[in-house]
Chains A and B, each alone.
Chain A
Amino acid sequence: MPTATSVNAGLARRRAAANLAATALAYAATAVVLVALASILVTLIGYGIGGLSLHTLITDTAPAGGHGGLLNPIVGSVIQVGLATLLGTPIGLLAGIYLAEFGGRSPLASTVRFVSDMLLSAPSILVGLFVYLLLVAPFHHFSGFAGVVALAILVVPIVVRTTEDMLRLVPVAMREAAAALGAPRWRVVVQICLRAAQKGLLTGILLAVARIAGETAPLLFTSLGNLNWSLSLNREMASLPVTIYQYAGSPADDWVQLAWTAALLITAGVLFINIVARIGLRGQNRS
């Protein structure tokens, strides 16, 4: 029969072993995730850097074997992402202001908050189908404008979320001070709260840009992609993600190469914006 101390020693050993195993597994899980990220980045750079040249950046897409570049997808992406941000940000900002400054805990505000958070994670392909039925099917043609609207719909919930969060960080005392000086409510919000939170708000907008810049599914049914140079919002418009989708599965080697280069460009852009936004956010928290 084991003595009390030996039972305790066995128990302590088992507990220490369980702790060690859990620690090792947790570190291993973290390592797996980091290896996945590293593998993605190495693959992108390895395959994509070969096609990265001035020629690629300043030449339009061309038929396979035609020494094409990525100019029209790049320009198309910039136009669509830019206009979508301009369209979606004001709505998101105002809705975020409503949630933080006016709505409080009212049933309407709680519903808006709930729905906005749901839209934040909703499948983006649904947004594409929605805009297709709304803006493409009735007019019988795809258009850059429809792509802009689809992306703008994705911008709104992201901006709503960061706007509300950032406005809630602004001390109530600042609002009270402004109100005591006789400022009307809208001035308090626009000139005091928004100004105090501007760094955080900018971060939210940047994150929204980064999110929609890589979106493919909503554009497939709206702006469709265009292999010719076109700046018209009333016609099909090229974009980097859709071009990647069209080129990656093609049997032509130069198209696959361009797909990798486009993938490298878009990922570098998206990660760069994310890092900038995160640095901005850190500054906001410190101040």
Chain B
Amino acid sequence: MSASAPSGYPGGVRSAAAERASSRLDPLFAGLARFSGLAVLLLLGGIILVMATGGWLAFHTFGPGFLVSSAWNPVRNVYGALAPVFGTIVTSFIGLLFAVPLAFGVAFTLTEMAPRWLAGPVGTAVELLAAVPSIIFGMWGFFVIVPIMARHVQPALIHSLGKVPFLHPFFSGAPFGTGLLTGGLILAVMVTPFIAAVMRDVFLSMPPVLKESAYGLGSTRWEVMRKVVLPWSRSAVIGGIMLGLGRALGETMAITFVIGNTNRISASLFSPGNTIASLIALEFPESSAGSLKLSALLALGFVLMVISFITLACSRMLLRRTG
């Protein structure tokens, strides 16, 4: 140990004065660490404060009506948040609708079924999918998924579900390939790895004896999963889903490529739309500093922040309870 110890390592011969000087750094170091911790809090406080200030002009001009107005008219200088908020919620909901079963399937496969040699590489591949930058999903969506949607999926849906009473408003319209459904599908692919990672970790953290006793009673794998593992891990699984929702709500680049970028509210899932994040990304360059339009975009950012922070806070609380 002493041979590899760096010079000045305690245990070597050091003067009492040097020792005292060294100890005096302790409060300084602790203070620095604590200050960095506080800096994280200040960062969140700063983001909330600055976004609220930036959107103040729009909130002040339009009042609470900003939240329920679907207008977005730069010519008349009238702005409302409803259409992008609608698009954000619908695409995120569609995303989760597909992502949750996919993520559950992946986690089920990785923890209960796949042999070790398979689970390792598959797990890594799913984690790599989470690392792919969002703009890549956007390009992939635009050049690969949109044509498939336009040529195959949307016409098929229009001819099948589009003829069913009550369902047909959702599945009508022209099959452009872009729109809310396509955006939701891209989101599903993007958030599945995040939800799957949480589910896998929770399933693995379960005490094996609980599962073993269920197997000992003759349960099948699916019964163990449904009646033992899921009830035991329910709050963390919901926390993982909320985490995915938080990701989906604020996703910008991927959505911007495939959503169609039209500010309107329509029941049709094929209709081009907008989300808060895609509207900001698209309109921001055309907004001059200090204008009401810029303030309206910042106010939208504030709304997105409130929605996603509440979602993420819920997610963290649910995840912490079991963790």
Chain A residues in the interface with B (C-beta under 8 A): 15-16, 18-19, 21-23, 25-30, 32-34, 36-37, 39-40, 43-44, 47, 90-95, 97-99, 101-103, 108-109, 111-112, 114-119, 121-127, 129-130, 133-134, 137, 140, 153, 156-157, 160, 178, 181-187, 189-191, 210-211, 213-217, 220-221, 241, 244-245, 248-249, 259-260, 263, 266-267, 270-271, 274-275, 278
Contact = CB atoms under 8 A, between A and B. Distances in A.
Given A114-B316, A126-B47, A30 B25 contact: no
Given A129-B301, A185-B30, A26 B109 contact: yes
Nearest to B301: A129
A245 B54 CA distance: 26
Given A33-B192, A153-B43, A178-B10, A216 B135 contact: yes
Contacts of A102: 30, 33-34
Given A101-B33, A119-B40, A182-B10, A129 B298 contact: yes
Contacts of A109: 37
Contacts of B89: none
A133 B54 contact: yes
B62 interface: no
Contacts of B104: 26, 29
Given A184-B26, A244-B135, A108 B37 contact: yes
A115 B313 CA distance: 8
B251 A123 contact: yes
Contacts of B51: 126, 129-130, 133
A271 B131 contact: yes
Given A22-B221, A125-B280, A95 B133 contact: no
A23, A217, A260, A274, most chain B CB atoms within 10 A:
A217
B246 A121 contact: yes
Nearest to A36: B189
28 contacts: A26-B104, A27-B105, A27-B109, A30-B110, A34-B125, A37-B126, A40-B136, A40-B137, A91-B40, A102-B34, A108-B37, A118-B312, A122-B250, A122-B309, A123-B250, A123-B305, A125-B277, A126-B250, A126-B304, A129-B280, A153-B43, A185-B26, A187-B22, A191-B9, A216-B252, A241-B133, A241-B135, A259-B139
Contacts of A248: 138-139, 142, 257
B238 to A, nearest CB: 15
Nearest to B280: A125
Given A19-B220, A33-B192, A220-B284, A95 B131 contact: no
Contacts of A125: 250, 252, 277, 280-281, 301, 304
Contacts of A112: 37-38, 40-41
Given A153-B43, A156-B40, A37 B125 contact: yes
Given A37-B128, A115-B44, A248-B257, 4 more contacts: A26-B105, A112-B38, A153-B43, A157-B40
A140 B304 CA distance: 25
A88 to B, nearest CB: 11
B29 interface: yes
A189 B32 CA distance: 13
A270 B132 CA distance: 7
Q: State the majority secondary structure of interface residues on A.
A: helix
B65 interface: no
* Chain B, interface SS category: helix
A115 B40 contact: yes
Of the listed residues A23, A36, A263, the one surrounded by the most CB atoms of chain B closer than 10 A to its CB is A36
Contacts of B29: 185-186, 189-190
Contacts of A249: 257
A162 B128 CA distance: 18
Interface string B111-154: 00110000000101111110111111111101110000000000
Nearest to B243: A121
Contacts of A18: 220, 222-223
A109 B32 CA distance: 14
A44 B136 contact: yes
Interface string B301-314: 10011001100110
A160 B40 contact: yes
A244 B256 CA distance: 13
B15 interface: no
A178 B127 CA distance: 38
Contacts of B136: 40, 44, 214, 263, 266-267
Contact of B220 (A16, A26, A278): A16
B216 interface: no
Nearest to A248: B139
A102 B33 CA distance: 8
Contact of B106 (A33, A157, A274): A33
Nearest to A37: B129
Nearest to B9: A191
A78 to B, nearest CB: 16
B217 interface: no
Given A122-B308, A274-B131, A116 B53 contact: no
